[in-house]
Structure 1
Amino acid sequence: MDVDLHQLFTRAAAEAARHRAAVADRPVHPSPDQGSLDAAFGGPLPTGPTHPDRVVGALIAAASPGLVGTVGPRFFGFVIGGASPAATAADMLAAGWDQCAYNEVLSPAAAAAERAAATWTKQLLGLPGSASVGFVTGAQAANTVGLAVGRQRVLANVGWDVARDGLFGAPRVAIVASEDRHATIDRAARLLGFGTRSIEPVAATAQGAIDVDRLRTALDSLSGPVIVCLQAGNVNTGACDDLRTATTLAHEHGAWVHVDGAFGLWAAASPRTAHLVAGIELADSWGTDAHKWLNVPYDCGLAFCADASLHAATMSYAAAYLTGSGSVSDPVLGDLTPESSRRARGFAVWAALRELGSDGLTELVDRCCDLARRMARRLESGGATIHNDVVLNQVLVSIGDPARIDGVIDAVQRDGTCWVGGTTWHGRRLIRISVSNATTTESDIDVAAAAILAAATAVEQSAG
């Protein structure tokens, strides 16, 4: 089959650029007929080959009615950053280059990009320069890696080799975490064989940070191996744990400390917010997303570990056909992640950081925080109640009858001006707004706030 790759790839890039150029002017959430979407993608598989140009055309036609404007400036439903121009272009190149970023033999360029991006990221986040960095799929994988490395260490401290002997008969490991922890911690506990009964929940403050006094009480009551999970950026409020005090306390009890910083870790990049994560460098492992506040395309997360050798010993494996794999002292890229078949995520992270520079990243963090506060003020002036201290980019909102809050959320989503989601916080249903996109402007905030207030008014009137 004769294929003009230049024409094919140019068409795909042009369609991606067209979507980006128009996304701000379209309803954020489409209202497609699901049957039509399924029909466009479905049907019998052709028995013969289809020319790639026709395949791309069919994909564009089938997908376009069902694309959500997550990359646009008024998507506030989850902590999703719209991928930056350079990072998106780098990801396109990564797909075209089709590098398997397992080791330097497979891709010297991918390895060099990851090393450079890892060095820059550690500098920006205030993490130890000697820490290892694994480029994983996201915060779930990063948290799982951090807990896996912690499992190896705390069990070794009591004479148990979990890599050799597994968990059957092993001493119980207690995972101490806030009652307001992210659900990825629970899933990591299940995946790693701890089970959710191993989690010792600690009360949180009114804003969702772990109560340090309660943490001390919990640690005093435990004996044996302990992993403490702290949080930089509560998923609802943006609150950060007192990392310095909590980490010091945990280490006094011989615990491993992992920090879930899916988006909040990036607060370290700005002098205005760095105090929220003071002491972050004291922890043993950290996890964050690049596809959130750094505005890198999905899927990309970072798993950091202060003990690089332990990180490699926990995650690596060796095979005769894999050059250089399994080295604890000089690990390859794939020795630090759960995957061997790894796409070259480092190109996009490198490009995003190079595009922003350190000052640009600071400005991005500050601007999103400013816009979140602007959203809170606009909504509050229209009669809404703000339920959190807006310290980062998260806003919790109620307006009108609490029983109708899901109706307001649904009305906002159907209107299409912006997209917000719901959450349950302290037993109450609330609107949850996350401001993470580099293209969001003050005008976007004002238009979105007006749409939310109008939706609330319409729901009250229709009920009334």
Structure 2
Amino acid sequence: MAHGEDGYAAALAAAAAHAQAWLDSLPDRHVGPSLHATELAPVFGGPLPAAGMPAHEVIDFLAGAAEPGLMAMPSGRFFGWVIGGTLPAAMASDWLVSAWDQNAGLRYATPATAAIEEAAGQWVLELLGLPSTADVGFVTGATMANFTGMAAARWRLLADAGWDLDRDGLFGAPRIRCFVGRERHDTVDLGLRYLGLGQPTQVDADGQGRLVPAALDAALSAGTGPALVCLQAGNLHSGAFDPFTEAIAVARKHGAWVHVDGAFGLWAAAAPELRHLMDGCGEADSWGTDAHKTLNVPYDCGIAIVRDPSALRAAMGLHASYLVHDAEGPGDPFEKVPELSRRARGVPVWAALKSLGRDGVAAQVGGLAAAATAIAEGMAGLDGVEVLNDVGYTQVCLAFGDDDTTRAVTARVIDEGKVWMSGSRWRDRDILRVSVSNWQTSGGEVATAVDAVRSALAAVRNA
């Protein structure tokens, strides 16, 4: 159908109205969805209609039909997994990114988005205390940020071993020995699998999930050859940070490349009261994070940072006659990420940082950690509730005696819908895990969280 009179204006107006209505509902709505995907499938499915529908009617239908199946993830009462909300400037700028419709791969073709992303990258390095000469690439999320950093590591380690990865591939290459803490996030292993590096060697961790440097030294000493060490800024369960200074010194002794998975933890460097958690982290070789989590920008915004730009660009870049390069610039964005075509996902990062400033980022990150501490203190005051981790960042792990009770309380919390907290298993116990990641979580949401657990525990006991 033609889209002239039914073009952008009506559709965008409808989208804006529905978006505002959704945001307005967040403070009070039941956090979980009210319908399952199997119930929603026939609403959206069936045979493809022969005739189209006007764009604004599509948006009206979409918003109305989807609403019962939406999780209130942007709510300050959502504590599941490690999922942030979205700052106003970041959300609005992301709408502009869609409207601009720029393919952000080439600096020559899309100079505005290239300049914005370059500025955002420099601000990120400044905030996180990382080398100002490092390369910054904007990828889909933390998984691909880790993949990208480790791809640069693979290229450099093999090049230093005299192997031409680009020409000869991996078959017959020197084996890269990979070492991870026993409590690393599983997406690190996934990235290694993508890269053809196989299963890593697990290194012992302490009671909070921090890698033990002496165990790393012993593991590295047990063999020879190129080595990649993956450290962690922010344990998924405890929020703990690996001892970077000691662990990186061990890795350097063995000539290893050090990559840091900091999906939500790298941002601790931006808050003065939390910066000590990141001591020594700046000495690593590459870092991965996700701006959607602690910074609170929309999804599709991981950040890959690599100290050695030549390794990153060798691993990710390509040359083709039809691509027009900007001879005056610092290289093209596509040379630093896995994709050639992509949206300008660094723009919302720039907008978030521009709206917050250095002090605002520090307050936001520090506020998340403070809210986690307040939640832990409130939970510890409830009879029958155990706080299992040392709460020093944004994660709180709770247990309620035996595993059956913990699972029942978790299910009750989710069913009541005042808050959302995800169940997990940590150190051989079922737990209820609280992750504070949303900029809108404050004293009211903290009180609601404690009350929700109190209510759920009482209901389980009285059942």
Percent of aligned pairs with the same residue?
A: 44
Q: 1:106 aligns with which of 79, 95, 109?
A: 109
- Tell me if 1:373 matches 2:376: no
Decide whether the 8 Å contact of 2:149 with 2:304 is kept in 1: yes
* Aligned 8 A contact 2:84 2:293 in 1: yes
Distance 2:106 2:152 in 1: 21
Distance in 1, Cα, partners of 2:168 & 2:458: 61
Q: Does 1:238 align with 2:239?
A: yes
Cα distance per residue 1:212-249 (max 9 Å; x no partner): 11111111112001000001001111100111121122
Quick check: 1:110–1:344 contact (8 Å CA) kept in 2?
yes
Residue 138 of structure 2 corresponds to residue 135 of structure 1:
yes
Q: How does 1:244-393 map to 2 (within 5 A)?
A: 244-324=245-325, 330-383=330-383, 384-393=385-394
Structure 2 unmatched runs, 5+: none
Quote how far apart the aligned CAs of 1:89 are.
Answer: 0.2
Partner of 1:453: 454
Deviation at 1:324, TM superposition (A): 1.9
1:15 equivalent among 6, 13, 18: 18
Q: Does the Cα contact within 8 Å between 2:245 and 2:281 map onto a contact in 1? A: yes
Deviation string for 1:405-438 (max 9, x for gaps)? Answer: 1221111111110000011111111011000111
Q: 1-side partners of 2:418 and 2:17: how far apart?
A: 25
- Residue 34 and residue 262 in structure 1: after superposition, are their counterparts in 2 closer, same or farther (change >3 A)? closer
TM-score normalized by structure 2? Answer: 0.97
Aligned to 2:170: 167
Q: Which amino acid aligns with 2:369?
A: C
Contact 1:400–1:456 under 8 Å retained in 2: no
Deviations 1:94-137 (Å, cap 9, x if unpaired)? 11111111112331111011001001000000000000000000
- 1:161-203 residue CA offsets vs partner (Å, 9 max, x unmatched): 122211111111111110101001110111111112xx11100
Q: 2:118 aligned with 1:148, yes or no?
A: no
8 Å contact 2:14–2:60 — kept in the other structure? no
Residues 3-56 of structure 1 deviation map (CA, whole Å, 9 limit, x = unaligned): 242232122122112211111110010221545411211121111222111111
SS in 1 for 2:424: strand
Kindly provide the amino acid, as one letter, of the partner of residue 86 in structure 2.
A
Instruction: Give the count of matched residue pairs.
Output: 458
TM-score, reference length from structure 1: 0.96
Paired residue type of 1:31: S
How far apart, CA to CA, are the structure 1 residues paired with 2:194 and 2:310? 23
2: CA distance, partners of 1:166 / 1:408: 51
For 2:456 and 2:401, the matched residues in 1 are separated by 11
| 2:60 pairs with 1:63 | no
Give the secondary structure class of the aligned counterpart of 1:286: strand
Gaps (5+ residues) in structure 1? none
Q: Give 1:373's aligned amino acid.
A: T
Q: CA RMSD of the aligned region, Å?
A: 1.3
Specify whether residues 378 and 256 from structure 1 end up closer, same or farther in structure 2 by C-alpha distance, changes over 3 A only. Answer: same
Deviations 1:353-386 (A, max 9, x none): 0111100010011111111011111111012100
Q: Aligned partners of 1:129, 1:10: CA distance in 2, in Å?
A: 42
* Paired residue secondary structure (1:91): helix
Q: Deviations over 1:279-303 (max 9, x none)?
A: 1211100000000000000011000
Which of 82, 95, 99 is the matching residue for 1:96?
Answer: 99
Is 1:79 aligned to 2:43, yes or no?
Answer: no
